A and B are shown apart, each in its own frame.
Chain A
Amino acid sequence: MSTQQHPTVDVYLRVAAALVILTVLEVGVFYVPAFHPVLVPVLLVLSACKFTLVMMFYMHLKADSRIFTFLFGAPLILAVTVLVALLLLLLGALTLRGAGGAGAG
Chain B
Amino acid sequence: MKSWLTTTDHKRIGLLYFWTAFGFFLIGGIEALIIRLQLAQPNGHVVSAETYNQLFTMHGTTMVFLALMPLSASFFNYIVPLQIGARDVAFPRLNAFSYWVFLLGGLFLNASWFVGPLFHAPTLNVAPDGGWFGYANLTERQFSPGPNIDFWLLGLQVLGISSLAAGFNFIVTILNLRAPGMKLMRLPTFTWMTLVTQFLIITAFPVITAGLVFLMFDRFFGTHFYVHEAGATPVLWQHLFWLFGHPEVYILILPAMGIVSEVLPTFARKPLFGYTVVVYSGILIGFMGWGVWSHHMFSVGLGPIADSVFSATTMLIAVPTGVKIFNWIATLWGGDIRGTTALHFAVGFIAMFVIGGLSGVTHASPPTDLQQTDTYYVVAHIHYVLFGGTIMGLFAGVYYWWPKMTGRLLSEALGKWHFWLQLIGMNLAFFPMHFIGLLGMPRRVYTYSPDLGVAQLNLVSTVGALLIAVSILMFLINLVRSRTSGERAPNDPWGGATLEWSIPSPPPVYNFSVIPTVDSRLPRWKTEHHGAMRDPPATPPAPIHVPGGSWWPLVAALGLPLMALAALTHTLWIVFVGGAVLLFGVYRWAFEPFEV
**A contacts, CB < 8 Å to B:** 67, 71, 74-75, 78, 81-82, 86, 89-90, 92-94, 97, 101-105
Contacts and interface: CB of A to CB of B under 8 A. Distances in A.
Interface stretch (B29-37, B235-243, B266-274, B343-351): B235-243
A104 B290 contact: no
Interface residues of B, number: 20
Contact of B301 (A86, A90, A94, A103): A103
A93 B236 CA distance: 11
A9 B86 CA distance: 39
Contact of B233 (A67, A75, A78, A94): A94
A86 B243 CA distance: 10
Interface of B: 171, 175, 199, 202-203, 207, 228, 233, 235-236, 239, 243, 290, 294, 299-303, 306
B243 A103 contact: no
Contacts of B235: 90, 93, 103-104
Residue from B171, B235, B239 with most neighbouring chain A CB atoms (10 Å): B235
B236 A105 contact: no
A104 B301 contact: yes
A104 B199 CA distance: 31
23 contacts: A67-B175, A71-B171, A74-B199, A75-B202, A82-B207, A82-B243, A82-B290, A89-B294, A89-B306, A90-B233, A90-B236, A90-B239, A92-B303, A92-B306, A93-B233, A93-B235, A94-B233, A97-B303, A102-B301, A103-B299, A103-B301, A103-B302, A104-B300
Q: Is the contact region of chain A dominated by helix, strand, or loop, or is it mixed?
A: helix
A101 B301 CA distance: 8
Contacts of B303: 92-93, 97
A94 B235 CA distance: 11
A92 B203 CA distance: 25
A68 to B, nearest CB: 11
A86 B239 contact: yes
A74 to B, nearest CB: 8
A104 B302 contact: yes
Contacts of B239: 86, 89-90
A74 B528 CA distance: 38
Nearest to B171: A71
Q: Is the contact region of chain B dominated by helix, strand, or loop, or is it mixed?
A: helix
Contacts of B299: 103
A93 B203 contact: no
A98 to B, nearest CB: 12
A78 B203 contact: yes
Nearest to B297: A103
A97 B303 CA distance: 9
Contacts of A81: 290
Contacts of A75: 202-203
B270 to A, nearest CB: 34
Nearest to B294: A89
B228 A93 contact: no
Contacts of B306: 89, 92
A100 B236 CA distance: 17
Contacts of B175: 67
A103 B300 contact: yes
A97 B302 CA distance: 10
B369 to A, nearest CB: 14
Contacts of A78: 203, 290
Contacts of B228: 105
Contacts of B302: 89, 93, 103-104
A89 B306 CA distance: 7
A81 B233 CA distance: 21
A102 B303 CA distance: 11
B199 to A, nearest CB: 8
Residue from B171, B233, B236, B243 with most neighbouring chain A CB atoms (10 Å): B233
Contacts of B202: 75
A103 to B, nearest CB: 2
A71 B239 CA distance: 25
Nearest first, the 6 closest Cβ-Cβ pairs linking A and B are A103-B301, A103-B300, A75-B203, A89-B306, A102-B301, A78-B203
B549 to A, nearest CB: 28
Given A86-B239, A94-B233, A103-B300, 16 more contacts: A67-B175, A71-B171, A75-B202, A81-B290, A82-B207, A82-B290, A89-B294, A89-B302, A90-B239, A93-B302, A93-B303, A97-B303, A101-B301, A102-B301, A103-B302, A104-B301
